[in-house]
Structure 1
């Protein structure tokens, strides 16, 4: 896969559609594969140039030390804004999944001249760490059970894929889709280091970066069409987080998918694409 140089690092990207169509930029959460192929292809078939990319220390992007990142949330935000220009566009519809949704929120707030629309999937309006009292936190029983499982040998592709499939139902996800995605993430990890593979699979790097200052109190400043997509079965960021986002962003639309957990399902591609384009 190609990569582009942005702010001193290489970001792995994948493009769908024609280069002269309006740009939809999709932030990985943390790798680009959090955006299903089917959704990207559907958006492209509707006249959009879709570019999904890996965050730093993930996928095909520059990987130095995921356990000790030397950058913060605002650096990732600047990457998103700069990438639009590097791709030859003036503005873009910005999407973010999970932790990528946190990047997307701050990018839309800090660079309103760059982003024309916003899609936030399975995310919340505060960074990692203690959650605001009015927001539902992770389902402690589910998360405890998931993280108490023995970890696989991260250098064993089949063991990693089986580990992902085993935990998928508890996260509200499809086990077969989780298995395939985990194997693809493993294949795209440009290192044999177990710590790098673990970081790519679990997105752990994001919990180690500085996400201050807060941005939730600024959400009312957003003046662009915004879609909030959330899974009713999400135990990691329960649906109340999506409801809060939609309530605090002016004129945002909330789309709750009953059979979705933490991951966008391939079967929802047409419905999500239609909602993203209805602005």
Structure 2
């Protein structure tokens, strides 16, 4: 059975960040950075255990306003994206880790880009999944394709949202929200309902979790470029991503020196569907063996 640390809290500025580790602390460290409005529960237990079984020490954590980490009033996050970068450093310090391999999905991928640019000594390598350039590149600027109109309509809708205090309603809203971002890899609604239920039960304020990351201040603009990234970089991107179409993954690969792109066939904008775990874990373990 894969060893687990159990949940622990790390201080980061005025916040407490909840984190958990899988595997042996003597192995290379892989830190998982989640996407907006999702707790660490979306990095599923079995996925973390299987990654740890590849002789990796896997750490996942709740972003601010998710899970058991510090929550803020709805619509009033008391932090910026710079604080989310600082949270990564606080977690590494809290687990006595000098440098880690960062695996970031969507917003977590943007955070990972800023961490490696601002604090390169803390990052052994990058894995960027389902994300987009968070800072400028040096090549001639090519306009990246926009999100799919169906997804754009979801973001633009002014229809009343769910009652996030109603457990059943909130869980179904999370499931259907994830379904709208899925690709042609079969969507497992039973599995997603289980994840959503666990996330709901661990999260202090679901309305804040579903709101605050979307109104977050960006802090000071980056003075660096993607071409400044020196860490070995692996890009994992779904071929059917409706939020950041596949060209976004290609742009990252072209701009980051030495980056390698692995297409995830049929995947949308989502945490890895179980049928793709084997491929992704194999790629991550091989990439972090340095």
Fold shared, TM-score > 0.5 on shorter chain: yes
How many pairs align? Answer: 268
Cα distance in 2 for residues equivalent to 1:220 and 1:87:
30
Residues 39, 269 of structure 1: 8 Å contact kept: yes
TM-score, structure 1 as length reference: 0.87
Displacement of 1:213 after TM fit? 4.3
Cα distance in 2 for residues equivalent to 1:106 and 1:72:
13
The alignment status of 1:24 with 2:33, answered yes or no, reads: no
Aligned to 1:113: 121
The alignment status of 1:55 with 2:66, answered yes or no, reads: no
Displacement of 1:146 after TM fit? 6.7
Structure 1, 142-151 or 101-110: larger mean CA deviation: 142-151
Displacement of 1:150 after TM fit? 4.9
Aligned to 2:203: 189
Cα distance in 1 for residues equivalent to 2:97 and 2:48:
18
Displacement of 1:10 after TM fit? 0.7
Q: Which runs of 5+ in 1 are unaligned?
A: 191-195
**Aligned Cα root-mean-square deviation (Å):** 2.2
Cα distance in 1 for residues equivalent to 2:10 and 2:179:
36
Residues 113, 134 of structure 2: 8 Å contact kept: no
User: After TM superposition, where is structure 1 displaced by more than 6 Å over at least 4 residues in a row?
Assistant: none
TM-score, structure 2 as length reference: 0.84
Structure 1, 99-108 or 22-31: larger mean CA deviation: 22-31
Residues 11, 53 of structure 1: 8 Å contact kept: yes
Aligned to 2:215: 208
Which residue, out of 76, 79, 90, partners 1:82? 90
Cα distance in 1 for residues equivalent to 2:9 and 2:113:
24
Aligned to 1:271: 279
SS in 1 for 2:60: strand
Aligned to 1:122: 130
Structure 1, 95-104 or 204-213: larger mean CA deviation: 204-213
Aligned to 1:241: 248
Cα distance in 2 for residues equivalent to 1:213 and 1:133:
24
Q: Which runs of 5+ in 2 are unaligned?
A: 1-6, 136-140
1:1-12 aligned at under 5 Å gives the runs 1-12=7-18
The alignment status of 1:43 with 2:51, answered yes or no, reads: yes
